[in-house]
Amino acid sequence: MPFEIPDINLLMPGLVIVLTLFIVLIFDMIDAISKKTLGWMTIVGAGIALWASIDLLQAGTDQTQFKDMFRIDSYSLFFNIIFLVSTILVALISISYLGRDDKKQGPYYLLILLATLGMMLMAAGNELIIVFLGLELMSLSLYVLAGYFRESPASSEAGMKYLLLGAFASAFFLYGIALIYGAAGTTSIPGIAEKLTTESQSPLLLAGTFLLIVGFGFKVAIVPFHQWAPDVYEGAPTTIAAFISAGPKAAGFAAFIRIFIEALPDIQTEWGGVVVLLAMLTMTVGNVIAIAQTNIKRMLAYSSIAHAGYVLIGLAAANPEGKLSAMLYLLVYCVMNIGAFGAVILARTADGENLMISDYAGLGFRKPLLGGFLTLMLLSLAGFPPTAGFVGKFYLFKSAIGAELYLLVIVGAINTAISAFYYLRVVVTMYMREPEEELEFNPYPSTLVIGLVLAAVGILLIGILPSLLLNPAQNAVL
């Protein structure tokens, strides 16, 4: 077969990330260059890749590359936007978090870029093997990042737990691919769908499907595969906890939704019931346990688990509206969750981070800018109008109603009310409780404030003008 020359235009977002990787690597070896510069290089590279993705999305691109192994379409390009927005925001909040001359900044940004490249492979993968390669590239980078502060026992423990449990999840995922290949004779996503329409389903296919659910369940932290999330979020550097909760979760769902809706629609009856059950369990367990948390990072970890349950509503609907609503919600969730973690970093004192919720007593009046940012992000996570979180939940519930999943909508609405309790508890602590001791806060870092302002503007704009996000997402699905 003749060698296929790839279209460089279509591969431009990924190529820009690879080029940025090399530039950061080279400049990291130059001692005269401030390590802070590496963060800005990462932001510029991700920004150019974001511009290239938006350009391709507006052009309505839908082509395959490398013998149909990669599919560059509106769906994968929309997810590219989610990944790159997450990368830019995390890089912005990382610059001040790491300091000016931390010698470890080079590998830090390299790993973030590698993880971003893995996410983009997952979203564009038209083959289960490509999805797996992207998943492992992303996961291996995240294992190292979670344990990046080696002098911190908590960070080292987080990295080790993430690695060990992630290895088990990868084994389940790979075994599921093997069983599906045995049943369908191909690992191509369109090929599997075509095989299912011409041949009867086998127990082998069902077993492989449920093993994929286990593998994806770990990566996106759905119950009962969520146990790693609270410990990893608490022990990992706060910027990395924000990163893990955003882009990688969206990447897991990008592959999850594409494989199950495009490759396995003919057995939707079998996996649909499981997804509905997992969605209800994930929302309920995440929200109920979050109420008992006194550490804000653990609270946000259980909140992240609950939000994975909300996204499963879109997958359970298994219709274009469900797919659209899941994509909308993932972009909104990434922005507001990174914003919430960024506000936690902004609350640092000279003694370190304030991670106990009680530490935020009186903060709303002592640090009004910080209090305003954190309040906005928490209200959006809870789904209050006119924030983007409300818009995201509205479309998720609407898609479930369209699919006649009324019980799932009721459970989701109840869980939204439950979540409001622990989000508002932090707001009440900031504005209605007196601090037990006076804390000396660090000055506001400019890059962190820029990141939070961008997140806040995005949350409010989408909440007030949802068409800004709805129209591109509709083009990516319909």
- Please give the full DSSP string across 21-80, using - where no structure is assigned: HHHHHHHHT-TTS-THHHHHHHHHHHHHHHHHHHHHHHTT-EEEETTTTEEEEHHHHHHH
> What is the pLDDT, as a whole number, of residue 418?
92
Omega before residue 435 within 30° of 0, cis: no
**Structure-token pair, residue 254:** 């990008």
Q: Which of 314-323, 351-360, 372-381, 383-392 has the lowest mean pLDDT?
A: 351-360
Domain assignment present for residue 123? The answer is no
Is residue 352 scored above 80 in pLDDT? no
pLDDT digits (tens, 9 = 90+) for 86-111: 999 999 888 888 765 566 677 889 99
> What is the pLDDT, as a whole number, of residue 159?
84
Locus of tokens 């790693």: 228
Rounded to whole angstroms, the Cα distance separating 163 from 192 reads: 31
Say which amino acid occupies 60.
G
Rounded to whole angstroms, the Cα distance separating 142 from 139 reads: 5
Domain assignment present for residue 21? The answer is no
Rounded to whole angstroms, the Cα distance separating 315 from 228 reads: 23
pLDDT digits (tens, 9 = 90+) for 218-247: 888 898 888 888 888 888 888 888 898 888
Rounded to whole angstroms, the Cα distance separating 317 from 261 reads: 10
Secondary structure of residue 478 in the 3-state scheme? coil
Domain assignment present for residue 355? The answer is yes
In the predicted model, what is the mean pLDDT of residues 319-334?
88
pLDDT digits (tens, 9 = 90+) for 10-42: 888 889 999 999 998 888 888 767 778 888 899
pLDDT digits (tens, 9 = 90+) for 241-268: 889 888 899 999 999 999 988 888 878 8
- Give the residue with greater pLDDT, 66 vs 144: 144
Secondary structure of residue 188 in the 3-state scheme? strand
In the predicted model, what is the mean pLDDT of residues 294-306?
89
In the predicted model, what is the mean pLDDT of residues 64-68?
78
Rounded to whole angstroms, the Cα distance separating 222 from 166 reads: 14
Is residue 1 scored above 50 in pLDDT? no
CB 390 within 8 A of CB 352: no
Q: Where does the pLDDT of residue 119 fall: very low under 50, low under 70, confident under 90, or very high at 90 and above? A: very high
pLDDT digits (tens, 9 = 90+) for 395-451: 899 888 988 889 999 999 999 999 999 999 988 888 887 776 666 666 777 788 888
Closest listed residue to residue 112, CA positions, set 10, 277, 247, 309 = 247
> What is the pLDDT, as a whole number, of residue 148?
82
- Give the residue with greater pLDDT, 365 vs 280: 280
Rounded to whole angstroms, the Cα distance separating 247 from 78 reads: 12
Q: Say how many domains are in the chain.
A: 1
Domain assignment present for residue 379? The answer is yes
**Non-local CB neighbours of 28 within 8 Å, separated by 6+ positions:** 35, 38, 105, 106, 107, 110
Is residue 386 scored above 60 in pLDDT? yes
Is residue 120 scored above 90 in pLDDT? yes
**Non-local CB neighbours of 292 within 8 Å, separated by 6+ positions:** none
Rounded to whole angstroms, the Cα distance separating 238 from 90 reads: 10
Which range marks the domain in which residue 281 is found?
266-478
Rounded to whole angstroms, the Cα distance separating 418 from 378 reads: 13
Q: How confident is the prediction for the chain on average, in pLDDT?
A: 85
Domain assignment present for residue 396? The answer is yes
Is residue 3 scored above 60 in pLDDT? no
> Of the spans 56-70, 208-222, 344-358, 427-441, which averages the highest pLDDT?
208-222
Domain assignment present for residue 305? The answer is yes
Domain assignment present for residue 341? The answer is yes
Domain assignment present for residue 298? The answer is yes
